[in-house]
Structure 1
Amino acid sequence: MQSAVFLFFGIHLVYAGKHSLQYFFTATSGLPNFPKFVSVGLVDGQPFTYYDSNIRREIPRQEWMAKSEGEEYWDRETQTSNRAEQRFMNSIEVAKYRFNQTGGVHTFQEMYGCEWDDQTGETNAFRLEGYDGDDFLSEDLKEMRYISPVLQGFPTAQKWNNDKALIDNDKNYFSTECIEWLQKYLQYGKNSLQKTVSPQVSLLQKDPSSPVTCHATGFYPSGVTITWMKNGQDHHEDVELGELLPNEDGTFQRTSTLRVTPDEWKNNEFSCVVEHRGETIRGILPDNSSDSFPIGIIVGVVVALILLIVSGVVGFVLYRRKKGFKPVPQNQSDDGSNRS
């Protein structure tokens, strides 16, 4: 049986000066215990609005958002999500037809939004769609045209590229409206969005022959670096960095796994180094001369506030379980994806 493929929210790494507004849409077919349509809005990686096909109402996910907008706003956003739900459910049926599919589990997804650097004034925007975890359509916002990497997406790309009203609407939204709303939301939630929360760092190992995972969680903003050291020197071999993932409380988590043999552990000292907002936290495995390691969690210790996180910008990344990300467009004009 085909399994559902969902995107992991590609949370943008938030550094000083860099801000983002993102919307994620997921429509599903063949999952009886899951909402058929879900919409989530995020500011700087923090969920602030939510809608699904069960509640059929746009609701705030942050207290600062609930206090800042009244019923008119939520009624308007609910109507937009109602229309998007209908469009996306139609998109799944169109996609199934184009790919010659009938039953099974399928997903149709979209991500769009914008970025703004409050120090340089630089802006950026993005819109991506996919079906069953594979890329289906994207919008080149410099050339203002839709592009599809698969034959099944060509009819939609051609139809939308010939829709002058749609293209003009996209141009206005991504160049102006999206940035204006992002700035407004940043003002609404400035006390929360400007906070800094240090990570909690743990080392986890099942048994002496198992990999060791360095787990950093509960930190905000999302910019974090996890590295390994061997006998005091940087170590990059046999290291796998996990995805940046959101926690329910608006903070983030990330892991890095190191694979070495028990003999290497016994003869060397390995440590995990987590850097976040100028704070360095080091986790060290105890007594590497022992033939066994404790199973479970070894909590890292704050060493010193010495290193500053590089104020670079990592490009917006969409993490996907398969090679692609999102959904498939439909044979209708875009009548309501763009949000406030």
Structure 2
Amino acid sequence: MKKFLLLLLFCHVSSPVQHSLKFLLSGSSGVPNFPEIVVAATVDEVLIGDCDSNKKIVEPEQDWVKTFLENNPQQLGFYNHECFEVLPINFRAAMDNFKQRFNQSGEVPLVSLLQKSPSSPVSCHATGFYPDRAMMFWRKDGEELHEDVDLGEILPNHDGSFQMSVDLDLSSVPAGDWRRYDCVFHLSGVEDDIVTKLDKAEIRTNRENPSDRTIPITAAVAVLAVVLAAATGFIFYKKKKANLPPQSPDNNSELSEELNPENPDLHPSWFL
């Protein structure tokens, strides 16, 4: 049976008896002290051999596999070539393609300055970076700050990239000293940091511009004035009507006749 499995594995001989041969490949990019490529081979879910890019050696996990490789050094050379030359090249190409397709090169995240209100801390926010090994901090005159600073967690985005932020409390900092501060974003494996100067003009906020409130406030005042004028006129009318002497039916008839538009003696200016 061992010889048959060897033939199945290395010579791809078919047989009416079905067995499963699997190669499991895992890869990583930019992870310190972790192999870039790890390959494991199993037959019927039993591990028979593996290799990784750090050890640079194919290791048989079964005695019969070890014996076969010792007796067939050319086959061992083939597996070494595949594990340590072919697979790393293909893996790097696949990773580059993946980063380009999902815009996750890890080198061009978006860094913004955010503030909720004039009394709130200023948040330096970075998003769209990959992988999640990043540092972010505030500096004053080129020195990293630790007081009045609140560093947030690295959080995932829906597209597989990441985001993070660090807040700076400026409540006791004069406006003239803001230019002395900047925010630094550093992504592991990337040589150049992203430095963002603290500039009030560059801060994004959801506060409403005071000029935007002028129109609705003016409109509200105008409506209120109209309502007050109408109420005042109505009260004045009610009081004046209450002070008029009662009129007889004849007087009412005469008044109706005077207001009749068909009266030739009535000047058109009465209707203005």
TM-score range, shorter-chain basis?
A: 0.3 to 0.5
Q: Determine which structure has more spread, i.e. the larger CA radius of gyration.
A: 2
The structure where helix makes up a greater share of residues is 2
Structure (1 or 2) with the greater strand fraction:
1
Higher relative contact order (CA 8 A, sep 6+): 1
